[in-house]
Structure 1
Amino acid sequence: MGWVARRQLTNLLGALSLVLALAGLSVGLPALDSALPADRSVATDRPYVVGGGVTVVPPAGSRIDVTETRPTDDSGTALFRLGPVRYLITVRPFDGDLDAAAGRLRERITGTAGYQVTGTELTVATGSGLAGVQGGYTAPGRGGRYLVFVAGGRTIEVTVSGADLDLGRTLPAIDASTRTLRYDPAEPE
């Protein structure tokens, strides 16, 4: 009987140790995650891989939000923050033309309650020769700009949003950054 009790006690202690280790992980890892900042510094002197063969040189002073940034081989998302201004680049597979891509992005913008597309769209081009369109939008207490490009069976969508005063200060740096957008299917992911 003593041998069975000792073995049961050993099993019980092993099981309790495992439960305590799992409880420590389930409490400790989320606490560690919430203690780390969502945004991290990013090099602004070289291209950043967004995903899907797309790179961009981030604006000076920007930080990358790692909770919203996901590069993959055929798509990707990169969220840069310049103070309170959001600068989001999204790359997705797409089989339409530029007009269809711009229409799809406008629909997503206006599909959010209170958001409206304003003004006329303008043609834009990046330094690498990507041709696209640019427009503006408003939302309660915020303004924004959107750009869309089509290359290699992908859309490259850029949305910028923030309070008008903040946007006015950061748009020149963001414009310079968007001119560095580049699609290179051979770009390492």
Structure 2
Amino acid sequence: MGGVTRSQRTNLLGAVALVAALSGLAFGLPALNHALPADRAVPTDRPYAIGGGVTVVPPPGARIDVTETRPANDSGTVLFRLGPVRYLVSVQPYHGTLPTAVARLRQRITGTSGYQVTGTELTVATASGLTGLQGGYSGPGRGGRYAVFVTAGRAIEVTVSGDDLDLGRTLPVIDASTGTLTFVPERSR
């Protein structure tokens, strides 16, 4: 029996280096990902592009949750956090009516155990002329508000949730932010 050849030693070193690199990727990247904060500061003095031609000016003090934010060409989602309050705006392609879009969102809300829609729905409008419907909901230890707008093949859904005390403090700035929702058709961009 002979010793280890130079070629075998080179192959072994290469294999060990490959295993080390793959281990670094498998364990190092997730550790780095968990070390980074999920929320980041976002400028609140200019419109934020959600996707699908829809923008919104974030409320003062808002931070963006990058784990729940997904911009795209024809759709998108952004999650702003104001302390413990969640302010989510979602845009999807949609070719139905406003009442049907509102019913879909209400069904998703009430499909969560313990959540129910409360009160009556009211008409709501943005400064850019989008009109929609707005309502409220409640769940275990949380309350919330939702709004839905339908325009030019898009459904824009807004959901806000938090405990009653925090919601009471932040709803005025969130309402003002929702009022800045704007849709710019693709040919105008």
TM-score (ref. length: structure 1): 0.96
Structure-to-structure mapping, 1:30-45, within 5 angstroms? 30-45=30-45
3-state SS, counterpart of residue 5 of structure 2: helix
In structure 1, distance between residues paired with 2:46 and 2:97: 30
In structure 1, distance between residues paired with 2:16 and 2:129: 63
Q: Which runs of 4+ in 1 moved over 3 A?
A: 1-4
Aligned residues: 188
Structure 2: gaps spanning 5 or more residues: none
In structure 2, distance between residues paired with 1:3 and 1:78: 62
In structure 2, distance between residues paired with 1:121 and 1:132: 10
In the alignment, which residue of structure 2 is the partner of 1:73? Answer: 73
In the alignment, which residue of structure 2 is the partner of 1:63? Answer: 63
In structure 1, distance between residues paired with 2:32 and 2:174: 32
Q: Given the alignment of the two structures, is residue 110 of structure 1 paired with residue 110 of structure 2, yes or no?
A: yes
In structure 1, distance between residues paired with 2:53 and 2:151: 10
3-state SS, counterpart of residue 34 of structure 1: helix
Q: For residues 49-77 of structure 1, give each alpha carbon's deviation from its aligned partner in whole angstroms, at most 9, with x where no partner exists.
A: 11111000000000000000001011100
RMSD: 1.5
In the alignment, which residue of structure 2 is the partner of 1:85? Answer: 85
Q: For residues 163-184 of structure 1, give each alpha carbon's deviation from its aligned partner in whole angstroms, at most 9, with x where no partner exists.
A: 0000000000000000000011
Structure 1: gaps spanning 5 or more residues: none
Question: Displacement, 1:2?
Answer: 7.8
In the alignment, which residue of structure 2 is the partner of 1:150? Answer: 150
In the alignment, which residue of structure 1 is the partner of 2:141? Answer: 141
State the identity %: 73
In structure 2, distance between residues paired with 1:115 and 1:177: 25
In structure 1, distance between residues paired with 2:146 and 2:177: 14
Question: Displacement, 1:4?
Answer: 7.4
Structure-to-structure mapping, 1:164-183, within 5 angstroms? 164-183=164-183
TM-score (ref. length: structure 2): 0.96
In structure 2, distance between residues paired with 1:22 and 1:185: 45
